[in-house]
Amino acid sequence: MEFDWSEGDETFRRELRAFLDAELPPDWAELSADGPGSDAQSTFSRAFCAKLAQRGWLTQNWPAAYGGGDATPWRHAILSEEMWRVGEPRGSQYMNVNWIGPTIMKYGTEEQKALHLPRISAGDVLWCQGFSEPEAGSDLVSLRTAAVREGDDYVVNGSKIWTSYVSGAEYCFLLVRTDPTSKRHRGITVLLAPMNAPGISVREVPAVIGERYFHELFFDEARIPAGCRLGPEGEGWGVVSYALAFERVGAMRYARAALTLDALAGAARERGMLGDPVVQEKLGAARCAVEVGRLLSYRVIDLRAKGSEPTPDTNLARVAGTMCENAVSDLALEIFGSESLAYGHFGESYWRLAMPAGVAVGTTEINLNLIASRWLGLPRE
Which residues would be at the binding site for other proteins (CB under 8 A)? 1-6, 9, 74, 262, 265-266, 269, 274-275, 277, 280-281, 283-285, 287-288, 291-292, 295-296, 298-299, 301-303, 305-306, 316, 319-320, 323, 365, 367-369, 371-373, 375-381
* C-beta of 228 vs 319, nearer to other proteins: 319
Residue 58 CB, nearest approach to other proteins (Å) = 23
Residue 302 CB, nearest approach to other proteins (Å) = 4
297 in Cβ contact with 73 (< 8 Å)? no
* C-beta of 192 vs 320, nearer to other proteins: 320
Q: What are 110's strand-pairing partners?
A: none
To 10 degrees, the CA torsion angle through 173, 174, 175, 178? Answer: -130
Residue 14 CB, nearest approach to other proteins (Å) = 17
Residue 28 CB, nearest approach to other proteins (Å) = 25
* C-beta of 177 vs 304, nearer to other proteins: 304
Measured at the CA of 15, the angle between CA 95 and CA 63, to 5 degrees, comes to 45
With residue 155 as reference, give the H or E element that holds it. strand 153-163
Instruction: Give CA–CA dist 329/350, Å, rounded.
Output: 6
Instruction: Give CA–CA dist 354/277, Å, rounded.
Output: 26
Instruction: Give CA–CA dist 247/96, Å, rounded.
Output: 11
Is residue 247 classed as helix, strand or coil in its secondary structure? coil
Residue 269 CB, nearest approach to other proteins (Å) = 7
Residue 268 CB, nearest approach to other proteins (Å) = 8
* C-beta of 220 vs 365, nearer to other proteins: 365
Task: Convert 122-147 into a string of H (helix), E (strand) and C (coil).
Answer: HCCCCEEEECCECCECCCHHHCCCEE
Residue 347 CB, nearest approach to other proteins (Å) = 17
Is residue 251 classed as helix, strand or coil in its secondary structure? coil
**How many residues in the chain?**
381
* C-beta of 83 vs 296, nearer to other proteins: 296
* C-beta of 37 vs 73, nearer to other proteins: 73
Residue 317 CB, nearest approach to other proteins (Å) = 9
Selection from 305, 326, 352 nearest residue 77 by Cα: 305
Selection from 103, 106, 97 nearest residue 67 by Cα: 97
Residue 331 CB contacts under 8 Å (≥ 6 apart), including other chains:
261, 264, 282, 283, 286
Is residue 12 classed as helix, strand or coil in its secondary structure? helix
Residue 116 CB, nearest approach to other proteins (Å) = 32
With residue 321 as reference, give the H or E element that holds it. helix 313-336
* C-beta of 135 vs 365, nearer to other proteins: 365
* C-beta of 22 vs 278, nearer to other proteins: 278
Instruction: Give CA–CA dist 298/314, Å, rounded.
Output: 10
58 in Cβ contact with 123 (< 8 Å)? yes
Is residue 200 classed as helix, strand or coil in its secondary structure? strand
Is residue 298 classed as helix, strand or coil in its secondary structure? helix
* C-beta of 132 vs 280, nearer to other proteins: 280
